[in-house]
Chains A and B, each alone.
Chain A
Amino acid sequence: MLKVAVVRFPGSNCDEDALRAAEAVGCEAFYVWHRETSLKGADVALLPGGFSYGDYLRSGAIARFSPVMQAVSEHARAGGAVVGVCNGFQILCEAHLLPGALMRNAGLSFVSKPVDLVVERTDTVFTSAFTKGARVRVPVAHGEGRFVADPATLAMLEGEGRVVVRYAPAGAGVEANPNGSVNDIAGIANEAGNVVGLMPHPERCMDERLGSAEGRPFFESIAAIAAGARK
């Protein structure tokens, strides 16, 4: 059974949702405290949302130096799956496991609402269960989700197809991207596709009884790693 480590930092608050989401798709999921120095044999490191270290200094800036991040980095470098959602994405950027940074939303407000996404890359550990171009509605909940990168990095991300999910273009019934992210970027991957970060929260829409199960394919992608389904 695929093992998923949900990495808990002081201030994580989507950790239980993430754990249950992983369990819901048949994974064995357990918490790893940020003071730990190993991922305890996990196949996947999942960095959940929240406000690690109170977002002091910058979101993710202090969490990235937690002891467990050394193990997360080594896991990523060895080709292991690492997924960051919201604050987890911010931590992965601060840790330089993903390029760019996440800044204060352009509108200044904390945004908490469902948004429409387009899945652009489907050969990553978090999106293999989608078909390319799939539309999915998933909630965001963040104050600092405006993705920025210098022009050279942005050109590289676009040129290499490393934008995994993008906020859908504004149109009938669809609002413009919620935070001012450059190129409507909602999530990106590293070069190999084994490290993925995104601002939206698929773990919050895993069950029709709670309103939506549109987030399930993200976690089904993780579960599929066991079967070697990653393309």
Chain B
Amino acid sequence: MTYRVHVRVMPRGGLLDPQGQAVEHALSALGFEGANEVRVGKAIELSVAAGSRDEAEARARQMCDRLLANPVTEDYLVQVEED
């Protein structure tokens, strides 16, 4: 089976996110009132061949731990769907 994996990587809560702040300021400058606590992360999509959804998720988590996210500064969320 092939699974489509969606990985969301976000700067860890509590760490300064200057990109999020800059976007927040820009939204405010454009007149979008009430847009607060903006944070900017990354979305990564990939196809994973695996025997089951659980296996696909486990492999994706290994990829996150080793490469896709930095455990010092980022948190990640993995979603798996059948391709």
The answer to whether A and B belong to the same complex is yes
Residues of A within 8 A of B (CB): 57-58, 61-62, 65, 93-94, 99-101, 103-108, 146, 148-150, 180
- Which residues of B in the span 36-83 have a Cβ within 8 Å of any Cβ on A? 67-68, 70, 72-73
- CB–CB B18/A148 < 8 A: no
Tell whether A105 pairs with B73 under 8 Å between CB atoms, given A57-B67, A65-B67: no
Inter-chain contact A58/B18, CB cutoff 8 Å: no
- Which of these, A65, A100, A107, A146, contacts B72 with CB under 8 Å? A100
* Residue among B19, B68, B72 making CB contact with A148, cutoff 8 Å: B72
The CA-CA distance from A57 to B72 in the complex, in Å, is 15
Total A-B residue contacts, Cβ distance less than 8 Å: 35
With A100-B72, A101-B73, A149-B72 as given contacts, are A61 and B67 in contact (CB-CB < 8 Å)? Answer: yes
Q: Which residues of B contact A (CB under 8 A)?
A: 11, 15-16, 18-19, 22, 67-68, 70, 72-73
Chain B contact surface mostly? mixed
- Taken together as a complex, chains A and B put the C-alpha atoms of A89 and B77 apart, in Å, by 28
- Once the chains bind, are B18 and A108 in contact (CB under 8 Å)? yes
Cβ of A139 to closest chain B Cβ, rounded Å: 22
Tell me how far the C-beta of B83 lies from the nearest C-beta in chain A, rounded to whole angstroms. 23
Q: Which residue of B lies closest to A100 (CB)?
A: B72
Closest A residue to B19 using CB positions: A104
| A148 contact set on B, CB distance < 8 A | 15, 72-73
Closest to B42 in A: A57
A89 to chain B, nearest CB (A): 14
The 6 closest A-B pairs by CB, nearest first: A101-B72, A101-B73, A108-B18, A104-B18, A106-B18, A101-B70
User: How far, in angstroms, from A103 to B18 measured CA to CA in the complex?
Assistant: 10
Do B15 and A103 have beta carbons less than 8 Å apart? Answer: yes
Contact present for A103 and B73 (CB under 8 Å): yes
State the CA gap A105–B17 with chains docked (Å).
Answer: 9
CA distance A148 to B73 in the complex (A): 8
**A-B residue pairs in contact (CB < 8 Å), sample of 20:** A57-B67, A58-B70, A61-B67, A61-B70, A93-B72, A94-B70, A100-B72, A103-B15, A104-B18, A104-B19, A105-B18, A106-B16, A106-B18, A107-B18, A108-B18, A108-B19, A146-B16, A148-B15, A180-B16, A180-B18
